[in-house]
Amino acid sequence: MGSAMQDDLIHEGPDTSADQARMLHDLLKLANRLTAPFSTHLADRYRISLNEFRLLMTIGRIGATASHEVAEITGVNVMSVSRAVSTLERNGRIHVALDPANRRRKVLTLTAEGQRLYEIMRPQTLTVAEFLFSELSETDVHALDRILAQLIDTLEARDENGNSVFLEATKPGEDAVVAQGK
């Protein structure tokens, strides 16, 4: 790199927005890569979708819960959770029952078949996690845990009216809305 170009970079500093966009795409790539063991080893063998897997693993880990709670824990939208609940129930993997204490709440629990699948799939999940973090120091793992929590908090923040701050802040401008309507 020529010295004039180096001087420009030093005075201008890094292109933070481009770096952030690249990191966002790297996070999306990471998420896609993390599903590869699921797709390769579990999806076809057990005839289970990724969202069904997430739901099954969440219920197995925390016990009885409700659809909206699973959506909140996993970050999967409520409609996708609802579809996964229907399929898991139809396939005899979860049981859905009205909560006697709150008739509007449906409690999700694993059936014997669901528990069997959870016990089969849990070690695979642990193996993926161990592999993913194997090259990081304990300090790096703790830092990543803190950063992930902070990023999730940022994405889940609500304004005084209960609206998602993230969705409001990332709403397309008027030009983008007009272009969509063409």
Predicted TM-score (pTM) of the model is 0.77
How far apart CA 32 and CA 4 sit, in angstroms, is 40
- Residue pair 97/90 in contact (Cβ under 8 Å)? The answer is no
CATH code assigned to 17-162: 1.10.10.10
Write the pLDDT tens digit of every residue in 149-179: 999 999 999 999 999 999 999 999 876 555 5
Phi, psi of 158 (to 5 degrees): -120, 145
The pair of structure tokens assigned to 31 is: 């998420």
Domain-wise residue ranges, the chain: 17-162
Beta-ladder partners of 99: 102
pLDDT value for 44: 92
Write the pLDDT tens digit of every residue in 94-119: 999 988 888 888 899 999 999 999 99
How far apart CA 95 and CA 12 sit, in angstroms, is 59
Strands 94-99 and 102-110: antiparallel
pLDDT value for 150: 96
Q: Which long-range contacts (CB under 8 A, 24 or more apart) does 59-67 make?
A: 59/94, 59/108, 59/109, 59/110, 59/114, 59/118, 60/110, 60/114, 60/115, 60/118, 60/122, 63/109, 64/107, 64/108, 64/109, 65/107, 65/108, 66/99, 66/105, 66/106, 66/107, 66/108, 67/106, 67/108
Query: Which residue type sits at 2?
Result: G
Burial 54-71 (b: 16+ CB within 10 A, else e): bbbbbbbeeeebbbebbb
